[in-house]
Each structure stands twice: as structure tokens, then as C-alpha cells.
Structure 1
Amino acid sequence: MRTSMLCAAAAIVALIAGIPAHAELGSAPTWPANNTAQATRLVQHVSTAVVPYTVNETTLSSGTVVREYVAQNGAVFAVIWHGPQMAPLSTLLGSYFPEYTQAIISARAAQGGGHGPAMVQEDGLVVQTGGHMGNFTGRAYLPQALPQGISLDDLQ
């Protein structure tokens, strides 16, 4: 009995580790708050009534932690990540990824190429990435979708 419970626990851990991140800015969260069967939703909390939003947090198999900030309308307005590997921006940014890549290409061309920290600040999209091997951080948010009363300092 104990062996089968340990095997079941190991299987659940292996399953969780293989689930990719696919939060998308401007759409529903990857790990919906009402889905109690979703094993990757590790942390959820709700702020005060003054600034109503939900934060869903998960740890990817790479060890990178992703936080989704979800407005009352159910749409993700910000995504924050930190960890040993870069977060999968193509999936985290969703439909905003082409805008991000075009802005990065333009910024790199203006700088004469290069790598390193990047910042995209468009009217409808802000993406900040940085760090070094083993310690990457970043955040992406939709300025127009920030709930009233929230500051950028709240997005940590």
C-alpha cells in the first residue's frame, strides 16, 4: 500500500514537471483558479477589494517560476518570471509575441546587434527581460489592462 502511494506521488511529480507554460497576455490564465484538479497551480491569492486581481504561480520543469496576474474579467494582464532558464516568451506572450520580436529586432539593429537585457515599451505592451545564465528574470504586462489602482511595484 505504501509503495503504491509513493509510486502514485512520483507519477504526479513527473507529470507536473512535464507540463509546459502557456500563459497568454490578454487571455485566460493557464492555470484557472476554478480548476481544482490542475496540479500546477501551486499558489493563488487574492488582493484586497481596492485592487482586485488574482495571482497564479507555478514552477516549470526548468525551475523557472511564472506568476500570472489575472484581472477580475479573467484576462491575464501581466506575467512575471524568474529562474535558472529563460521563460518561454513565445507562449507566455501569445498573440503579442510577434510585436515583441519585431521591437527587439528593431532595437538590436539600432544598437548594432548584441545580446543581454532587453526592454520593449510599446503603447500596448511592455516586456523587460534580464539576468544571466542560471538567473533570468522578466516581466511582461499590458499597460492598458492594468486594473485601476495597481502600480508596477505590485508586479513582483
Structure 2
Amino acid sequence: MKSSSFTTWRVASGALLASLLLCTQAQAALGRAPQPRPAEAATSATSAAESAPVARQMRAVPTSEAYTVSTIVAPTGTVVQEFVNAQQVVFAVVWRGPVLPDLAAFFGDHYVAFQRAAKERRAAGQRGGALLAQQPDLVMVSRGRMGRFQGHAYIPSLVPSGVNIQELLP
């Protein structure tokens, strides 16, 4: 019996590792081109996401000629939307859920601005509340508490002309 439970544990661990690898390979970062999605990279009729335990669901929805939206549901239940302009560059990210997503992965090079805003807030003795960063190349808001987080980040210069960014944000 111990051998079969160990084997079950190994299989479950392998499936979890595979699903985590799919998650890290499929996300893009602000200001970069989106990464290939697991369904796009699969050569067979069944995508990698369908053959592995469901770790996340993702779909790209063409909303207009100006941009598309990819919706990602993490295993934690957090929903992240990536907005990609016609030049195939991520111009905005919106998140909502019980756990903060890996903001370093979604912000890319702009994560430093997020860290700086958090450090300045702590240095000023502020705890809790919304974390804001507004610069010419990044606008970011992150707020929430344990079990209920939401926020957004976008690069103003990459927002397609004619798109009201405020309508896309929570």
C-alpha cells in the first residue's frame, strides 16, 4: 500500500509541475509580445491544457480590430486579463481574485516601478490601502486584502487610439 500511495503522489506531483510550467510559459508581460498559448503550440487535436489536469483556462477573444483580450484563470481562482494591441504587444493587464497573480511575470520590466511604489509606501509608514504608481510609461493600481485582490496596469503609449482605457479597467 505504501508503494501505491507513493506512486500516486509522484503522478500528482508531476501533473502539478506540468501545469505550473504551462502557466509560466503562456503569459506575456506589459510592453512585450504575447507568448504562444498552449493550444496554439499543440500539434495534435488535443491541446496540452486538455490532456493535463485543469490548472487554468485561457481564451483569446477578438474584441475589436484595435485589441484582443486573453483571459487566464489560475489554479487559485484569480482571473487575469491581458489586453494585446494590433501590433501584438500587451498594453494592459487586469486582475481580480483571492490571490495576487505573479505580478513580476505580468509586469515584466515594469515590475521595478511596482516595487518602488511599495517601498515608498512602507517608508512613509503606510500599510494597507491601494498601491498606486503613475508615471509617463506606466499606470498601476493594486488593492485588496487576503482573499480579495484586484488591480490593473497599463502603458499609456501602447493603448490603441480610439480606445478608452478607463472602460477596460475595474
Q: What TM bracket, shorter-length normalisation?
A: 0.7 to 0.9
Cα separation, 2, equivalents of 1:64 and 1:41: 11
| Alignment partner of 1:146 out of 159, 164, 168 | 159
Unaligned runs of 5+ in 2: 1-11, 43-47, 50-55
Which residue of structure 1 lines up, in the alignment, with residue 149 of structure 2?
A: 136
Which residue of structure 2 lines up, in the alignment, with residue 6 of structure 1?
A: none
Cα separation, 2, equivalents of 1:134 and 1:18: 24
Q: 1:153 is paired with a residue of what secondary structure?
A: helix
Alpha-carbon RMSD: 2.7
Residues 43 and 61 (structure 1), Cα distance of their counterparts in 2 relative to 1, 3 Å cut: same
| Alignment partner of 1:80 out of 85, 94, 102 | 94
Residues 76 and 32 (structure 1), Cα distance of their counterparts in 2 relative to 1, 3 Å cut: farther
Unaligned runs of 5+ in 1: 1-9
| Alignment partner of 2:40 out of 32, 35, 38 | 35
Cα separation, 2, equivalents of 1:24 and 1:100: 14
Residues 100 and 136 (structure 1), Cα distance of their counterparts in 2 relative to 1, 3 Å cut: same
* Pairs aligned (count): 143
Cα separation, 1, equivalents of 2:155 and 2:78: 22
| Structural mapping, 1:97-112, within 5 Å | 97-110=111-124, 112=125
Q: 1:136 is paired with a residue of what secondary structure?
A: strand
**Could you say which structure has the greater relative contact order, defined with CA pairs below 8 angstroms and 6 or more residues apart?**
1
Cα separation, 1, equivalents of 2:37 and 2:89: 10
Cα separation, 1, equivalents of 2:36 and 2:142: 23
Cα separation, 1, equivalents of 2:21 and 2:78: 13
Which residue of structure 2 lines up, in the alignment, with residue 122 of structure 1?
A: 135
| Alignment partner of 1:24 out of 7, 10, 29 | 29
Cα separation, 1, equivalents of 2:75 and 2:35: 15
**Bigger-Rg structure (1/2):** 2
Task: Normalising by structure 2, report the TM-score.
Answer: 0.72
Cα separation, 1, equivalents of 2:22 and 2:38: 17
Instruction: Measure how far apart 1:105 and its partner are.
Output: 1.6
Residues 127 and 109 (structure 1), Cα distance of their counterparts in 2 relative to 1, 3 Å cut: same
| Alignment partner of 2:60 out of 37, 41, 44 | 44
Cα separation, 1, equivalents of 2:154 and 2:133: 11
